[in-house]
Amino acid sequence: TAAAGPSVVEGPVTTRDGRRIAIVANIADAKDARRAAEVGAEGVGLLRTELTFLSAATEPTEADQRAGYAATMAPLRGTPVTVRTLDAGADKPVPFLAVAPEVNPALGVRGQRLFDEAAGDAAERSSTIGSADRAGVLDRQLAAVVGGAADAGVELKVMAPMISTADEAARFVARARAAGAEQVGVMIEVPAAVLNAPELLAEVDFVSVGTNDLTQYVFAADRQSGPLAGFNDPWQPAVLRLLDQLCRAAAITGTPVGVCGEAAADPALAVVLVGLGVTSLSAAASALPAVAARVASVDVATAQRAARAAVSSRDVASARAAVRDLLG
Summarize as ranges the residues that interact with ligand PEP (CB under 6 A): 46, 48, 87, 189, 210-213, 260-261
Q: Between residues 288 and 322, which has the closer beta carbon with respect to ligand PEP? A: 288
Question: Could you tell me the smallest distance in angstroms from the CB atom of residue 84 to Mg ion?
Answer: 8
| Cβ within 8 Å of residue 60, ≥6 positions away | 52, 53, 68
CB neighbours of residue 60 within 10 Å: 17
- Residue 237: which residues within 8 A CB-CB, separation 6 or more? 310, 311, 312, 313, 314, 315, 316, 319
How far apart, in whole angstroms, are the C-alpha atoms of residue 108 and residue 110? Answer: 6
Nearer to Mg ion, 205 or 213 (CB): 213
Q: Which does 46 bind (CB under 5 to 8 A by kind): ligand PEP, Mg ion, none?
A: ligand PEP
The distance of closest approach from Cβ of residue 262 to ligand PEP in the complex, given in angstroms and rounded to an integer, is 7
Residues within the interface to Mg ion (CB under 5 A):
189, 210, 213
Closest CA to 255 of 209, 189, 315: 209
Find the shortest distance in angstroms from Cβ 263 to ligand PEP. Answer: 8
The per-residue DSSP string of 62-79 comes to: HHHHHHHHHHHHGGGTTS
**What is residue 315's DSSP assignment?**
S
Closer CB to Mg ion, residue 145 or residue 292? 145
Q: Which is nearer to Mg ion, 210 or 275 (CB)?
A: 210
Output the smallest distance, CB 215 to ligand PEP, in A. 8
Residue number, 160 or 327, with CB nearest to Mg ion: 160
Most distant CA pair in the chain: distance in Å? 59
What does 257 interact with, of ligand PEP, Mg ion, none (CB < 5 to 8 A by kind)? none
